């Protein structure tokens, strides 16, 4: 395969920023969580890409990606539980309404 490393990195960066854009702008908390999943995946893609290109016999990159996937799964479970809990409390999942921490 003849794709240079740079293209993969740019792909990862662009995907990350798409996710970031969603996390910054969406009002629905579930949509924000989905955007964060996109960011996670972009980062994981980078791990694998570097593993592939820097390949030196070790599987550290893949291992890292694997653990990152597991952590992301745990994160989404807890995050969605929080969203449901917030929904029960406020009857809304609008992140602009979640400002109980306002000083």
Partner 1 sequence: MNELVKQQWLIPFLPLVAAAVQSLLPRKARKLSAGICLTAMGASCVLALRAFVGTLGHHEAERAVWNFVWFDYGTTRLQLGFILDPMTAAMALMVTFVGFWIFVNATGYMSDDENFTRFFCFLSLFAAAMLGLVVANNLLMLFMCWELVGLCSYLLIGFWYFKPSAATAMKKAFITTRIGDVGFFLGILMLSWQAGTLNLYDGGNGALEQAGKLAGLHGWFGWSMATTIAVLLFIGAMGKSAQFPLHVWLPDAMEGPTPVSALIHAATMVAAGVFMVGRMFALFTAGGSAEHPTFAMDMVLWVGCFTALFSATIAVGQFDIKRALAYSTCSQLGFMMMALGAGGLVPGQFHLLTHAFFKALLFLGSGCVIIGTHHEQDMRKMGGLRKYMPITFWCYLIGMLALAGVPPFAGFFSKDEVLLVTFQRSKVAWGLATFAAFLTAFYMTRQMFMVFAGKWRGGHHEPHEVRWNMWLPIAVLSVFAIGLGFFGGKYEHYLGVHEEELHGKSLVMGLSVAVGAAGILLGWLMYGRKTMAHAEEPDPLEVKLGALFTCLNRKWYVDEFYDATIIRATMLLGEFWRVFDNRVIDGILHGIAWTAWGVSQVVRWVGDEFVINGGFDAGCEGVRLTGREFAKLQTGRIQGYLRILCLGAVILLVIWYLK
Partner 2 sequence: MNIVFLTLSAIMVLGAVLAVTLRNLVHCLLALVVFFLGIAGHFFLLKADFLGAAQILIYIGAVAVLILFAIMLTRNISGTEGGRSSLGGAWWLGVGLASSLAGMMCVFVRRSELVTKLPYGATEEGVVKEIGKLLVTDWVVPLEIMAVLLTAALIGAVVIALEEEKKR
Q: Which of residues 59-98 bind partner 1 (CB under 8 A)?
A: 95-96, 98
The rounded distance, in Å, linking the Cα atoms of 8 and 50 is 9
Selection from partner 1, partner 2, none that 102 binds (CB < 5 to 8 A by kind) is partner 1
Residue numbers 19-78 binding partner 2 by CB under 8 A? 19-22, 24-28, 30-31, 33-35, 37-38, 41, 44-45, 48-49, 51-55, 59, 62-63, 65-67, 69-78
Task: With beta carbons less than 8 A apart as the criterion, state whether 72 and 34 touch.
Answer: no
**DSSP per-residue codes, 44-93:** HHHHHHHHHHS--S--HHHHHHHHHHHHHHHHHHHHHHHHHHHHHHHS--
Length of the chain: 103
The rounded distance, in Å, linking the Cα atoms of 57 and 40 is 25
Selection from partner 2, partner 1, none that 92 binds (CB < 5 to 8 A by kind) is partner 2
Nearer to partner 1, 29 or 49 (CB): 29
Does position 102 bind partner 2 by CB under 8 A?
no
Selection from partner 2, partner 1, none that 44 binds (CB < 5 to 8 A by kind) is partner 2
């Amino acid at each position: 395969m003849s794709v240079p490393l740079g293209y993969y990195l740019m792909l990862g960066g662009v995907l990350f920023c798409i996710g970031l854009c969603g996390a910054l702008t969406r009002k629905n908390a579930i949509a924000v969580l989905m955007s964060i999943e996109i960011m996670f995946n972009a980062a994981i893609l980078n791990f694998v890409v570097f593993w592939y290109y820097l390949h030196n016999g070790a599987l550290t990159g893949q291992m890292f990606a694997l653990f990152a996937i597991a952590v992301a799964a745990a994160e989404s479970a807890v995050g969605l539980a929080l969203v449901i809990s917030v929904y029960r409390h406020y009857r809304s999942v609008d992140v602009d309404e979640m400002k109980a921490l306002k000083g």
